[in-house]
Amino acid sequence: MSDTPLELQLCHDLRTAEGLVTLNVELRLERGSITALTGPSGVGKTTLLRSIAGLVKPQSGRIAFGQEVWFDSDKQIFKIPQQRRVGLVFQDYALFPHLNVRQNVSFALKKGEDQGRVDELLREVELTKLADRRPHQLSGGQQQRVALARALLPNPELLLLDEPLSALDRAMRLRLQDYLLEIHRRYQLTILLVTHDLGEIFRLADQVVKMDEGKIMNQGTPEQVYTSEFEPSPGPVLYGEVLSCHVENGMATVQALIDQRIHKFRLSAAEATSLVVGQPFVLRYSVDKPVFEKVR
Amino acid sequence: MNFEPLVLTFKLASIATLILFGLALPLSYWLAYSRFRGKVLVEAIIGMPLVLPPSVLGFYLLLAFSPGYFFGAWIEEIIGLRLVFSFPGLVVASVIYSLPFMVYPLQAGLQALPVSLREASYTLGKTPWTTFFKVLLPNAKSAILTAIVLTFAHTVGEFGVVLMIGGNIPGVTRVASLAIYNEVEALNYSAANQYALVLFVITFAILLLVYSVNNRLFRVRHPA
């Protein structure tokens, strides 16, 4: 095992809903890093992943992992998926419907290989209790964990995830991000994941690769890639709705609904004049004090 | 009642179905996944028995199998088998005649499976062979069942082809459908009715059994 990272350079024509897109990408993944691949749909993110896994043969280019050359169009080298040590988690999870959870994971075992690793991985993703369930009896997040355990079983050095968490609710996403970080730490994997979620990118990724129209537009740490994009913020802004407003002795007590919760404020009667019960408002935090404004 | 034609019918249908299943597995796999351009030609040829009058197919098979022509002479010389007016000839003709009933449902069943199942198996290091038998076929159970039943039933119902190629020889090639025709020709309606009724009841029972099993398979995989 060497420390050379994944290196790829490839060219491939894609027919998408928006017409012909030429995928033309050069990319390096450092060993043990987590890289997020992001960008609008139909720009070749999935094709890039599938090329690395060996499910798509690019028209030209080169893909090397460590000392191994997986693809080289000049030298006519193309390693089939079975010969690459890549774990791939599909967007639709691709669990085998006729097998239960344990069988899905142990499917990845080689002939005569010990079952112990299956138990270990099931424990890891907390699915031991559901081992006898079929995929259709599981929630999205549980299916996702089965797919993850199954992809990890052959001990891949490179894990590819195609929008793994996009179909899940927020709480489940956060938990699965924890799993991913834990697994990344434990197995020292190199991870490449497709995602659109900014929170996910900042939480997980060492490196972000933004793609558009088949090309890499921007690349770097999440801070480098995203901080340049945003205007400096004047401070947090909250949107709410006024529920009630009582004025007494020159002071107003306002009850407002902000983010599905009721909050109480005390303002001067003058400040409260712009607030109307039943109307939306904006609450701006400036450095010294909050400012309420009517929404126009 | 002479049971010979009925036994012959079910023997023929069983053997033809068995052979067709073995033949159709690789063929339908190839048709489902190959991107070979000439594929449509193969599909069209396989589908011919669906639209061709059985007598036309039977006529050409009769010519092809006859020792007076090249193929028939060649077969007789190589394996010493005469395919006209013989039971092996009926089997070969039935295999050709029922081919689309086995191949098409299998092909459709395989194509209906998500591509990612196959790809997931490959990335887990499994060969196409293992993937086919351990992943694809088990998930195409209802297609397999449909293919087998359609093929069996279609072979039981053969008339034109078996008449042309088999020649209605009692105990050798006179299957139930021919026996019914014979009895009607001889104005022996009650004997014809006996054969007809047995075929009717047995085929209905088979279909009923198969579709109820299929229904259950289907429900288990797609809960409401």
Tell me how far apart the alpha carbons of residues A56 and A73 are, in angstroms, rounded to a whole number: 13
pLDDT at B2: 85
Distance from CA of A169 to the nearest CA of B (A): 22
For chain B, list residues whose CB is within 8 angstroms of any CB belonging to chain A.
114, 116-117, 119-127, 134-135, 138-139, 141, 221-223
Beta A215-220 vs A237-248: how paired, if at all? unpaired
Q: For residue A294, list its beta bridge partners.
A: A281
**What percentage of chain A exceeds 70 in pLDDT?**
92
B151 found inside a domain? yes
pLDDT tens-digit readout, A177-228: 888 898 899 888 999 999 988 888 988 999 999 998 888 988 999 888 887 6
Could you tell me where the beta strands, DSSP code E, fall in A81-214?
86-89, 158-162, 190-194, 207-212
pLDDT at B219: 61
Interface test with B, best of A52, A89, A107 (most B CBs within 10 A): A107
Domain extents for chain A? 6-227, 237-294
Helix (H) or strand (E) run with residue A104 in it: helix A101-106
State yes or no: pLDDT of A47 exceeds 80.
Answer: yes
Q: How many Cβ pairs closer than 8 A exist between chain A and B?
A: 62
Overall fold of domain A6-227? Rossmann fold (3.40.50)
A111 CB near a chain B CB, below 8 Å? no
Q: Which residues of A touch B223 (CB under 8 A)?
A: 136-137
Q: Provide the chain A residues 58-97 that lie in CB contact (below 8 A) with chain B.
A: 80-82, 84, 86-88, 90, 92, 94, 96-97
B199 found inside a domain? no
B97 found inside a domain? yes
Band (pLDDT 50/70/90 cuts) for residue A296 is: low
Band (pLDDT 50/70/90 cuts) for residue A230 is: low
Please report, for chain B, how many H helices and E strands are present, in that order: 11, 0
State yes or no: pLDDT of A173 exceeds 50.
Answer: yes
pLDDT at A34: 94
State yes or no: pLDDT of A232 exceeds 80.
Answer: no
Q: Provide the chain A residues 34-53 that lie in CB contact (below 8 A) with chain B.
A: 53
Band (pLDDT 50/70/90 cuts) for residue A287 is: low
C-beta atoms of A107 and B116 within 8 A: no
Low-confidence residues of chain B: pLDDT under 50:
222-224
Band (pLDDT 50/70/90 cuts) for residue A75 is: very high
B201 found inside a domain? no
B22 found inside a domain? yes
B64 found inside a domain? yes
C-beta atoms of A55 and B122 within 8 A: yes
Helix (H) or strand (E) run with residue A28 in it: strand A19-29
- Report chain A's mean pLDDT, rounded to a whole number: 86
The lowest-confidence range among A97-111, A136-150, A170-184, B55-69 is A170-184
Q: What is the extent of the structural domain holding B115?
A: 4-175
Interface test with A, best of B118, B123, B127, B218 (most A CBs within 10 A): B123
Domain A237-294 has CATH 4.10.280: no
CATH code at B66? 1.10.3720.10
Q: What is the DSSP letter of A95?
A: -
Which residue has better confidence, B43 or A266? B43
B206 found inside a domain? no
How many domains, in total, are found in chain B? 1
pLDDT at A2: 47
Chain A's closest residue to B117, CA to CA, is A94
How large is the C-alpha radius of gyration of chain A? 25
A109 CB near a chain B CB, below 8 Å? no
